[in-house]
Structure 1
């Protein structure tokens, strides 16, 4: 299937590209080239955090339209999870002139080999550069191990990013994305090259943001990919993973410190999030 042979999507207004580029601090002209794809993706991952504050506060995330995503991630300077990040990125890349398809996957990161099959609730992008045969995998919404740069959609080839090497490998009847962590290839998710329509993405987003046992409902998580390190927050626990393979960890004393970190390090505008500190206090050790 050609990347432009997508399933029919609801009609949307064009994204405010200037506002988005200002949000991520991208000041160079944009065009549908591999270089623009790289610089936009890397700026996005450095700027817009992964976070699950809405589900944690009981706010479902079901509207994946351009207006809702722009309002939250751009105007209100919030973050989000995969459906929001990659949904916004799809609108941006469409507007610039790339070919974009949504793909779906099952997250297996940090799972044991004999763990139950996870739901197909991850969302990634296959991106085509016009007038070329080059297709790329783009995923700006995985969280702690987010793919920091686009990689070419080729199988079993180690590819460098600004942090760890990654590769796409064959797995069963589909594919897997893997990262090289301390000399070991570790799978992030299994996925299919088939296009996932918006209605299925909205069902997945609603599910992970409302199910009573969803990790996004019962605990706080946030992540940001800095230039040469990864910042991960889970409850009160902060981890910083550096490019050289070393890590530093810290345990925060209170919900107030967590909320302060969300604002100061992850860049989340917490001023309008009523009840956040109280809810964070309830899940500090989740």
Structure 2
């Protein structure tokens, strides 16, 4: 299997310090889940580079410089998952890059293009591959990697997920990641969404994917398109997210949304650039580059 990234021992050390991981450095399921969770809680999701008209680099050295050694920056899905892919390979896991269609709120899977990146991870000695994804960033995102097994509910660090199959045209099985939203949580169940039992909330489709392997050059093209297309949400408004043990924060344009595990949602609108910079600094741990305009 060709390597997707190439990180050296110093890079791995720096990354594990950045996410606060002090556990084992071995290729097993426990390490995979632990590193995955630590990453999601340590490094924020942010699109400040595309917002400034810059295409984020996916070169390993640049990922380490920005997301790891930079200390107070994050990135969006391609940066996060390409970084994690390199780390997992350095630890001895096998990694395949996948693309997915984000279907939150969509009526049909086919209505959305393949613009998201996820990882299929092989654990030595374990017959089951795992789905890993530290770059989705939404309240329905995975917090820990989960086995690629259909119709089984997983509890990952307080969130509930399952993988289901959905019909589609094509020779490969279509997998859909669903997240369970508590009663009272906002959002449309969307494509492949199903209701839970009375009073128990709803299963909401997050994204759909097949196991067709993709390579770094594929993501160079997708990354450029998402960063530069004027119709892309990431090139036109600030979109920053962070998950902690007790809440999920999202800054979508001027709207700051706080979501709690019980489905409680609080939101308010930021009034000016000064407040937006303060919120990114204090709440998200992000140092905003000079010249960045956050609120249009």
Q: 1:195 aligns with which of 207, 213, 218?
A: 213
Shifted more, 114-123 versus 26-35: the winner is 114-123
Counting only pairs closer than 5 Å after superposition, residues 84-99 of structure 1 correspond to structure 2 as 84-99=79-94
Q: 1:255 aligns with which of 252, 270, 273?
A: 273
Shift of 1:228: 2.4
- Deviation per CA, 1:179-208: give whole Å up to 9, x if none: 011321111111111111111011111110
Q: Which residue in the other structure is 1:120 paired with?
A: 114
Q: Which residue in the other structure is 1:3 paired with?
A: none
Equivalents in 1 of 2:97, 2:208: separation in Å?
Answer: 14
Residue pair 2:7, 2:86 contacting (<8 A) in 1 also? no
The gaps in structure 2 that reach 5 residues or longer are 183-200
Residue pair 1:66, 1:88 contacting (<8 A) in 2 also? yes
Q: Which residue in the other structure is 1:105 paired with?
A: 100
SS of corresponding position for 2:111: coil
- Deviation per CA, 1:124-145: give whole Å up to 9, x if none: 0011111121321111001223
Shift of 1:60: 1.0
Residue pair 2:27, 2:123 contacting (<8 A) in 1 also? yes
Q: How many residues align?
A: 270
User: Which 4+ residue blocks in structure 1 deviate beyond 6 angstroms?
Assistant: none
Equivalents in 2 of 1:114, 1:39: separation in Å?
Answer: 34
Q: 2:76 aligns with which of 72, 81, 89?
A: 81
Q: 1:233 aligns with which of 251, 268, 281?
A: 251
The gaps in structure 1 that reach 5 residues or longer are 1-5
Q: Indicate the RMSD between aligned Cα atoms, in angstroms.
A: 1.7
SS of corresponding position for 1:51: coil
Cα separation, partners in 2 of 1:11 and 1:243, compared to 1, 3 Å: closer
Q: 2:22 aligns with which of 18, 23, 27?
A: 27
